[in-house]
């Protein structure tokens, strides 16, 4: 078995770009919503389990989420991860109803993450947490995150109480990302109640299916809603094989064009470019949770080698053998270096 080492002796550094962390304050607020019966079904299912279960997996997850110090560094060393891009775990503060509480938790988490990045400047980089419920505050926090705290992106955990970033009330967030060149990482959470149907009962609402289904829907709303015509420089990042978009893009594009021609939908207007163009120009994808050489090669073929990045999805999917598998991919050394290192450096400015 090959020994996994940091330092780049294999020809590249390994930069993991979708790594989760949490604050106790955040977890307490989410679990309180669950206990009060105020959380949506997806949050109730996910955090009703992860927030309270004494099982080995949930205990491991909670312990690792809350650590942005020696325990996480040890895990990175053991799995050969040189650098990690950290973001406040899903659902962030987006399930909360009290705006003062949500803004406070997000702001304090940003301060805490920035301090950890200062302690480990060669290992950690941070993404700003925002409160989309208050888009103007979020735009200001994005500026603080980039200019004062040194954050390299922003993570939005898909829907906010069933609403999506293409809706007008969120435009200050998109505008801030475009104006300040801040990569926007849309990360999954459970589908909203209007969408979830029988998925909880089927055991399919979480990472197994519901996450990808709901987040790809969010991404398609952006791709088909004129967002990238308004903000041509906006950078969208999607995990988990770009949430399946590269596999489906030909059908998406054909049916999108057919929908425009039909005039069936008031929302669906002609755009300047095809969906292929936006996928190759405005979107980056990571392989978080999808350690599949075949999937990674498909992403590169459809999106371009410069747009596909490595991620581990720690601590939810922490399997060091996956690093060995991807190190051994049948791929040109230059493309593999882009995947593990230089694409992340270019996108996030690290």
Catalytic member of 134, 166, 253, 313: 313
User: In the chain, helix, strand, coil percent, each to 5?
Assistant: 50, 10, 35
Provide φ and ψ at 286, rounded to 5°.
-110, 165
> What beta strand segments (E) does 9-56 contain?
15-21
- Spatial distance between the Cα atoms of 181 and 232, rounded to a whole number of angstroms: 11
Taking the mean position of all CA atoms in its chain, how far away is CA 230? Answer: 22
Q: Which residues contact 278 (CB under 8 A, 6 or more apart)?
A: 223, 228
Which tokens sit at 331? 């791929």
Which tokens sit at 342? 């230089």
What are the CA-CA distances from residue 200 to residues 56, 216, 289, 325 (Å)? 22, 19, 21, 32
User: Strand, coil or helix: what is 283?
Assistant: strand
C-alpha gyration radius of the chain: 19
- Spatial distance between the Cα atoms of 88 and 5, rounded to a whole number of angstroms: 27
| 313 tagged catalytic | yes
- Spatial distance between the Cα atoms of 241 and 292, rounded to a whole number of angstroms: 9
Assess whether the previous peptide bond of 315 is cis (omega < 30° from 0): yes
Q: Known catalytic residues? A: 313
């Amino acid at each position: 078995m090959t020994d996994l080492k940091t330092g780049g002796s294999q020809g590249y550094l390994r930069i993991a770009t979708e790594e989760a962390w949490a604050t106790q304050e955040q977890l307490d607020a989410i679990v309180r919503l669950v206990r009060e019966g105020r959380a949506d079904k997806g949050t109730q299912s996910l955090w009703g389990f992860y927030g309270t279960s004494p099982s080995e997996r949930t205990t491991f997850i909670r312990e690792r989420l809350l650590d942005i110090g020696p325990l996480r560094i040890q895990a990175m060393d053991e799995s050969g991860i040189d650098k990690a891009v950290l973001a406040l775990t899903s659902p962030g503060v987006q399930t909360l109803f009290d705006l003062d509480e949500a803004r406070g938790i997000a702001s304090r988490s940003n301060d805490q993450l920035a301090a950890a990045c200062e302690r480990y400047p060669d290992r950690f980089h941070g993404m700003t947490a925002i409160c989309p419920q208050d888009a103007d505050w979020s735009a200001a926090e994005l500026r603080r995150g980039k200019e004062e705290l040194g954050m390299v992106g922003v993570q939005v955990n898909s829907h906010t109480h069933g609403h999506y970033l293409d809706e007008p009330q969120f435009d200050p967030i998109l505008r801030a990302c475009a104006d300040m060149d801040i990569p926007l990482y849309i990360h999954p959470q459970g589908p909203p109640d209007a969408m979830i149907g029988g998925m909880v009962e089927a055991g399919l609402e979480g990472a197994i299916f519901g996450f990808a289904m709901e987040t790809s829907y969010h991404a398609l709303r952006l791709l088909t809603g004129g967002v990238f015509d308004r903000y041509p420089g906006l950078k969208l990042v999607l995990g988990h094989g770009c949430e399946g978009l590269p596999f489906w893009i030909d059908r998406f594009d054909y049916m999108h064009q057919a929908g425009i021609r039909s005039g069936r939908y008031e929302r669906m207007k002609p755009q300047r470019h095809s969906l292929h163009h936006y996928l190759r120009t405005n979107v980056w994808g990571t392989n978080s949770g999808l350690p599949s050489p075949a999937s990674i090669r498909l992403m590169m073929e459809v999106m371009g080698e410069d747009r596909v990045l490595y991620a581990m999805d720690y601590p939810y999917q922490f399997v060091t053998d996956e690093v060995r598998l991807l190190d051994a991919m049948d791929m040109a050394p230059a493309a593999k270096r882009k995947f593990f290192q230089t694409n992340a450096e270019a996108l996030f400015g690290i």
